[in-house]
Amino acid sequence: MDQEGKRIAGAELLYDPRTNKGTGFTEQERDALQLRGLLPPRVFTLEQQTARIMNNFRRQTSDLDKYIFLGALQDRNETLFYRILLDHIEEMVPIIYTPTVGEACKQFADIFRRSRGLYVSAKDAGRVEELLRNWPERDVAVIVVTDGERILGLGDLGTNGMGIPIGKLALYTVCAGIPPERCLPVMLDVGTNNEELLRDPLYLGLAQKRISGSQYDSLVDEFIQATQSVFPKALIQFEDFANRNAIRLLEKYRDRICCFNDDIQGTAAVALAGVYSATRIQRTKLVDQTFLFLGAGSAATGIADLLVTAMCAEGLPEQQARRRCWLVDSTGLVVKGRDRLAPHKVAYAHDHEFLGDLLSAVRSLKPTALIGVSGQPKTFTRDVLEAMAAINDTPIVFALSNPTSKAECTAEEAYRWTNGQAVFAGGSPFPPVTIDGRTFVPGQGNNVYIFPGVGLGIMASGASRVTDQVFLSAARALADQVSDEHLAEGRLYPPLNSIRDVSIAVATSVMKVADRSGRLCKLPQRELEERLKALAYVPSY
Ligand code: NAD
């Protein structure tokens, strides 16, 4: 049936990825739905179709080819696409998301086949609501929106950044079971300042410089207002905005609508969960740590803010908690009295002499944890890592910059240069490393552990705001999913193949804190989990 209740049949069924089962249509369906003759005669089960697709998938020679292959499948047969993703999650996440999605965004115009999601451009000012009403689904639960200005660590990719909302929403479906028809990717095309794209005759976006100031704000505001009337139940996730807009827009809208910023708050929760796991390995407490960040942008201050919230929850006064977090930006150590500090850094500008480089900051501050969110590759040098190992028995080293080419160090470098002492997590996946016969399994501080569960919890609780407490409880719930066996291998996060269970655990914790009535808190854990499982989309025929 289509949305008007009209029965769809024949070729129309085959060409709609939501209804298409391809060779999976049964004998009865082929007769009843006028499909006889439109398909080869043999009927295949979903499992058999999956096997065929996996053979072809593994024959693709590059990760980008695999990405294109999966995109084509998503355009053809949505159920099969999600079945494959769910059954081979560890293999698929690096293809549909980081690191491959970075390459896919760079080549977005070249690999473009069929439009997916909604494009709202600066030319549409004044009629954004009309565009939203063109979207074929009404019951949208999650919107992921970007303006393409800071795509991963790759910078301004303009409209090519649409690969990110598309990938993130596929993850909402795979990891937390949010039905695909309830997910809406949005590109706010406000132009691009990327000269290469502006010169490219095949670029798909507006070939103009970015709009800014009140013109930009008014377009974003019109979009937000339109979502409230067209999709009033939707959770809005801001994604990959440049930090000046990311922080500002979050501040502007967080108390007005149901929204969050994944680069700030999702990253913070996943990093905090990794720190909780690391303290179990170290047998220390959160309040025993001193954090030094390389990078002082939205990810760094987002993580620092949540660490402060978490330390305060453990009894440390806020001022002391803030003094446990130090930032190094492109100029050097962020200290009190430094000229023209951006407002988001001020809370972390402490009394200290200015130091111009990371190594001097490590030697002077003696951090227990080094967190890389600078987008600058190879900045955790051998000297820096050796200094961390000299100061700490088990230094925490998180090199979170994405994609892999931007990582502050590799897992191998972190383990080797600290003589296997480091407790490591990367932003992208790294293979296990063996040093002197001991094998380390690097963690991946992937936001996918957090945002799908947060989305599901918000959707299920009907909450209208996403508070800091949501991310604190999500981080705790994620950390609780890490077993002692995982920790013994150096893993700070649970294996990705348990992601649906992880998302359910995150979502139940979110439901409890997000529900203002306090009603859900009183329900037994098992009942909450059952409710969430009943909501989850399962790709099957
Ligand atoms: P941002 O642009 O807001 O911040 C980047 C910061 O790095 C700025 O403060 C800048 O001053 C600083 N910087 C630039 N060059 C530097 C240098 N040479 N030395 C020290 N600092 C330098 O970006 P963001 O949103 O904070 O993201 C930063 C990085 O973190 C990106 O690569 C992104 O992919 C990564 N990230 C990873 C995850 C994750 O793995 N879960 C999540 C979010 C962001």
- Residue closest by Cα to atom 16 of ligand 1: 330
Domains and CATH numbers, the chain: 1-44 (1.20.1370.30), 100-257 (3.40.50.10380), 265-446 (3.40.50.720)
Which two structure tokens, joined as six digits, stand for 509? Answer: 């914790």
Give the span between the Cα atoms of 168 and 146, in whole angstroms.
11
Rounded to 10°, the helix 499-514/525-535 angle is: 120
Say if residues 13 and 33 touch (Cβ distance below 8 Å).
yes
Question: Ligand 1 centre from 414 Cα, in Å?
Answer: 19
Q: Evaluate the omega torsion of the peptide bond into residue 403 and state whether it is cis, within 30 degrees of 0.
A: yes
**Most informative mutation of 263, 331, 370, 374 for ligand 1 (most atoms within 8 A of CB):** 374
Pair 328, 296: CB distance under 8 Å: yes
Atom of ligand 1 nearest to the CA of 300: 26
d(CA 330, CA 357): 9
Question: ∠ CA(458), CA(258), CA(141), 5° rounding?
Answer: 55
Q: Does the model's pTM come out above 0.85?
A: yes
| pLDDT number for residue 523 | 84
For 256, residues 6+ apart whose C-beta sits below 8 A from its C-beta are none
Which helix (DSSP H) or strand (DSSP E) does residue 372 occupy? strand 369-372
**What does the pLDDT profile of the chain (541 residues) look like in tens digits?**
666 666 789 999 999 999 999 999 999 999 999 999 999 999 999 999 999 999 999 999 999 999 999 999 999 999 999 999 999 999 999 999 988 999 999 999 999 999 999 999 999 999 999 999 999 999 999 999 999 999 998 999 999 999 999 999 999 999 999 999 999 999 999 999 999 999 999 999 999 999 999 999 999 999 999 999 999 999 999 999 998 999 999 999 999 999 999 999 999 999 999 999 999 999 999 999 999 999 999 999 999 999 999 999 999 999 999 999 999 999 999 999 999 999 999 999 999 999 999 999 999 999 999 999 999 999 999 999 999 999 999 999 999 998 889 999 999 999 999 999 999 999 988 999 999 899 999 999 999 999 999 999 999 999 999 999 999 999 999 999 999 999 998 899 999 999 999 999 999 999 999 887 778 778 888 899 998 999 999 999 9
Contact between 225 and 234 (Cβ < 8 Å): no
User: DSSP string covering 479-522, please?
Assistant: HHT--HHHHHTT--S--GGGHHHHHHHHHHHHHHHH-TTSTGGG
Task: Give the separation between CA 451 and CA 264, rounded to whole angstroms.
Answer: 11
The whole-angstrom separation of Cα 383 and Cα 120 is 47
Q: At what angle do helices 163-176 and 89-96 cross, to 10 degrees?
A: 160
Question: Is position 97 annotated as part of the catalytic site?
Answer: yes
Distance from the CA of 447 to the center of ligand 1, in angstroms? 15
Tell me how far apart the alpha carbons of residues 93 and 499 are, in angstroms, rounded to a whole number.
Answer: 11
User: In which order are the strands placed within the sheet that holds 396-399?
Assistant: 325-328, 291-294, 369-372, 396-399, 423-426, 443-444
Ligand 1: atom nearest CA of 296 is: 9
Indicate if ligand 1 lies below 6 Å from the C-beta of 328: yes
295 Cα: distance to centroid of ligand 1 (angstroms): 5
**Cβ 164 vs Cβ 188: under 8 Å:** no
Helix 358-365 / helix 382-391 crossing angle, nearest 10 deg: 0
For 18, the 3-state DSSP assignment is coil
Q: Pick the atom of ligand 1 nearest to 342's CA.
A: 9
Contacts of residue 436, defined as CB under 8 A and 6 or more positions apart, other chains included, come to 420
Prior bond of 99 cis (ω within 30°)? yes
Whether the Cβ atoms of residue 325 and residue 308 lie closer than 8 Å to each other: yes
Question: How far apart are alpha carbons 112 and 160 in whole angstroms?
Answer: 10
**Kind and range of the H or E element at 120?**
strand 118-121
- Residue 1 burial by Cβ neighbours in a 10 Å radius (0-12, 13-18, 19+): exposed
Please state, in angstroms and rounded to a whole number, the distance separating the CA atoms of residues 351 and 369.
20
The whole-angstrom separation of Cα 245 and Cα 333 is 23
- The predicted structure's pLDDT at residue 504: 96
Using the mean position of ligand 1's atoms as its centre, give its distance from the Cα of residue 299 in Å. 6
3-state SS of 49-117 is HHHHHHHHHHHCCCHHHHHHHHHHHHHHCHHHHHHHHHHCHHHHHHHHCCCHHHHHHHCHHHHCCCCCC
Please provide the DSSP assignment of 444-490 as one string.
E--GGGTHHHHHHHHHHHT-S---HHHHHHHHHHHHHT--HHHHHTT
Q: Is-catalytic flag, 168?
A: yes
Query: What would the two tokens of residue 310 be?
Result: 């978490």
Report the distance separating Cα 394 and Cα 282, nearest Å.
6
For residue 379, report the distance from its CA to the centre of ligand 1, in Å: 12
CA distance 387 to 78: 50
Q: Can you give the pLDDT at residue 8?
A: 86
Q: In the prediction, which pLDDT does 402 show? A: 87
The conformational region for residue 344 under phi > 0 = left, psi -120 to 50 = alpha, else beta, is alpha
Q: How buried is 136 (Cβ within 10 angstroms: 0-12 exposed, 13-18 middle, 19+ buried)?
A: exposed
Angstrom distance (rounded) from CA 32 to CA 38: 13
79 CB near ligand 1 (under 6 Å): no
376 lines ligand 1 (CB under 6 A): yes
Helices first, then strands: H and E counts in the chain: 25, 13
Q: How far apart are CA 63 and CA 128, in angstroms?
A: 36
Reference 454, options 480, 475, 483; nearest CA is 475
- For atom 22 of ligand 1, the residue with the nearest CA is 330
Please tell me the distance from the alpha carbon of residue 392 to that of residue 386, in angstroms, as a whole number.
10
**Ligand 1 atom nearest to 427, measured from its CA:** 40
